[in-house]
Chain A
Amino acid sequence: MTKIINKVHCRSAVLFVLLLGLLFIPVSATLATSVDRTSLCNLEGLPGKTVDMEITLEGTSPEERAGFWYTHYKEVEGDDDRMDITSWITIEPKDYAIKQGEIKVFTVKVKIPKDAGPGLWGATSEEAGKEGHSSERRTYIIFKDAVTGGNVYSGLLLPISVKVLPSPNPLAPVINFVKQNIMTIALITVIIVLLAILLLRRRKRVSKR
């Protein structure tokens, strides 16, 4: 009889511990929309060129959600005109509707103006894309969505910045060609020098005769 009571007590204790443990399991439910990157910082491009980036959203909510993309400039006192690059950015398609398990791909296009000077635009530091560096960010792309027909939107701010490269040197193609074929060029140079020496010796011999 005592054994049976002990067994029941033991089972109850195990059940209690298991139920108590459930309370401490962190909630891992994702019920909104996921994105495959948290920043688009330090994109590189030349003045007058367009930089294209793909970005993906994944629906995780059981209900269909409808939303859109837009740009935002976080104004901070003392900022110069390099911080707001919202006018350079377009996201295609802008509007979307997403269901659970669905994946949608968007293209972020950054059109760098022809007169943009070299250096960093859209953030105060190249570290802006790292977690916790919010104070260094100025320009963002944002997606937000709500349950279709709802009025409560949620989304994420993704910082974006561009490193405008110096305009290319007109001799750049020649320099690149030399860099890529340095071994062949060195070899040809050595052969030409040796042939020249040979030719000079022959001329000397002929002149002696």
Chain B
Amino acid sequence: MKKKILFLAGVLVLTATLIVSVTVLASNVSNQAASSNKATSITIVGKTATSTAVVGTITFPAGAPSAVVSNPSSNATGENEATVQVLHATTSEPVAQLLNGSAGTLKVWIGRGAWTTAVTSERYKLIAPATTTVASLTSETELTETSTDSGSTIAASAYLALYLEVTLSAEAGKSGTSTLTVLGET
């Protein structure tokens, strides 16, 4: 009888030991917290220094059939906002600027929608705003209907100047529309 009691006591001790070990293991929990910054898309703004006038549309003036049109203007409506692009060897001015409102550097992707009519090709140049020696866009990269990596980057809170140029189609009396897309990648 004594042996049986001892045996049962052993079983109970073993049970208690296992339960206590489970309890000890379960209490090893602590909480941690971390957060990251939001990312913000690139803003297309007017061409003046530190502009915050958002550009909604860019318009190219009419030209002769097959002509190259390189003086588009934006609808930036800030105070004293000049809007027409100027190509010049020493005093060039872009049509707009890209402003990075994110906390980190962004790679710039750029593309266009399909032109309905009137335009056969469109070219662009992205350059630091301090450079004012853009005299021609003839040999610059063509915009495509799929946005592609431009190879340019913008640092946080910095600007990049945007120049545009189109070649009109040979047909006279046509007008067309398209869209411009600027995307950022972290």
Contacts and interface: CB of A to CB of B under 8 A. Distances in A.
Interface of A: 26-39, 58, 60-63, 72, 131-132, 134, 142-147, 149-157, 183, 186-187, 190-191, 194, 198
A32 B42 contact: yes
B185 interface: yes
A149 B27 CA distance: 59
Interface string B1-25: 0001001001100110011011000
Interface in B4-59: 4, 7, 10-11, 14-15, 18-19, 21-22, 36, 38-45, 50, 52, 54-58
Contacts of A152: 44, 55-58, 74, 96, 179-180, 182
B107 interface: yes
A126 B185 CA distance: 17
A30 B157 CA distance: 9
Interface string B165-181: 00000000000011111
Contacts of B75: 150
Interface string B142-169: 0000110100000011010000000000
A43 B107 CA distance: 24
B41 A154 contact: yes
B101 interface: yes
B90 interface: no
Closest 6 CB pairs of A and B: A150-B56, A147-B56, A30-B101, A32-B41, A26-B157, A31-B43
A120 B38 CA distance: 26
B109 A157 contact: yes
8 contacts: A27-B157, A28-B157, A29-B52, A30-B101, A152-B55, A153-B182, A154-B42, A156-B41
Interface in B40-89: 40-45, 50, 52, 54-58, 74-75
Given A58-B38, A146-B179, A155-B183, A30 B54 contact: no
Contact of A34 (B21, B39, B157, B183): B39
Contact of B11 (A39, A183, A190): A190
A156 B108 CA distance: 9
Contacts of A156: 39-41, 183-186
A30 B11 CA distance: 69
Which of A28, A31, A62 has most B Cβ within 10 Å?
A31
B15 A187 contact: yes
Contacts of B56: 63, 146-147, 149-152
A39 B157 CA distance: 21
Contacts of A190: 11, 14
Contacts of A149: 56-57
Contacts of B119: none
Contact of B39 (A38, A62, A150, A194): A38
A151 B58 contact: yes
B99 interface: yes
Contacts of B43: 29-32, 61, 154
A67 B50 CA distance: 26
Contact of A134 (B52, B107, B156): B107
Contact of A153 (B4, B7, B179, B186): B179
A147 B74 CA distance: 13
